[in-house]
Every structure is written in C-alpha cells, then in structure tokens.
Amino acid sequence: MSIEFLRTLAKCRVPLTLTDPQDINNLLVLRAAGLVVALTLKPEAGGPRVARFLALTPDGRSALWFAGKPPPHEAEATVL
C-alpha cells in the first residue's frame, strides 16, 4: 500500500476518475485494505480500464494521521 498515493487522493476532489493502470492498481490495493471507497467500471469494448475514487474511509483517515506522526523514541517504546 502506498501511503503517498493515499495522501494524494486525500487532496483530490471527488469523484475522481482514474485511467492510468498503475493508479488503478494502487487504488484497488487501498480499497482492499479498507482505506478508500472506490468503484471499478466495466470498460466498453476495447476501451481502457477505469476506476473511480469516491472517498476516504475512517480507517484511511486514521492511516494518514498515523503516517504523519513521528516514530516513538526507543526509550519511549521500551516497556519496563
């Protein structure tokens, strides 16, 4: 999963239509992880594959929030 791609989607207006195969694959990974709401659209005969990003889920927003937090120091993470 690419947190950077999730961050990019969070800045976009919805609905957002994606046609780039790599972007679609990234979107489907995020959807499978439960981080976004997205649709895949059946292509017309010979047409390109299309997906539509609709929204971040609450888990997607949490993932972005946690990704922005600095990692804990080793001393803070150690349990005595």
Provide the token pair at 62. 């949490």
Model pLDDT, residue 36:
97
Is residue 79, in this structure, part of any structural domain at all?
A: no
Model pLDDT, residue 75:
46
Mean pLDDT score of the chain = 86
pTM: 0.79
Domain that holds residue 14: 3-65
Three-state helix/strand/coil letters over the chain: CCHHHHHHHHCCCCCEEECCHHHHHHHHHHHHCCCEEEEEECCCCCCCCEEEEEEECHHHHHHHHHHCCCCCCHHHHCCC
C-alpha closest to that of 56 among 6, 3, 2 = 6
Is residue 80, in this structure, part of any structural domain at all?
A: no
Question: What is the count of structural domains for the chain?
Answer: 1
Is residue 77, in this structure, part of any structural domain at all?
A: no
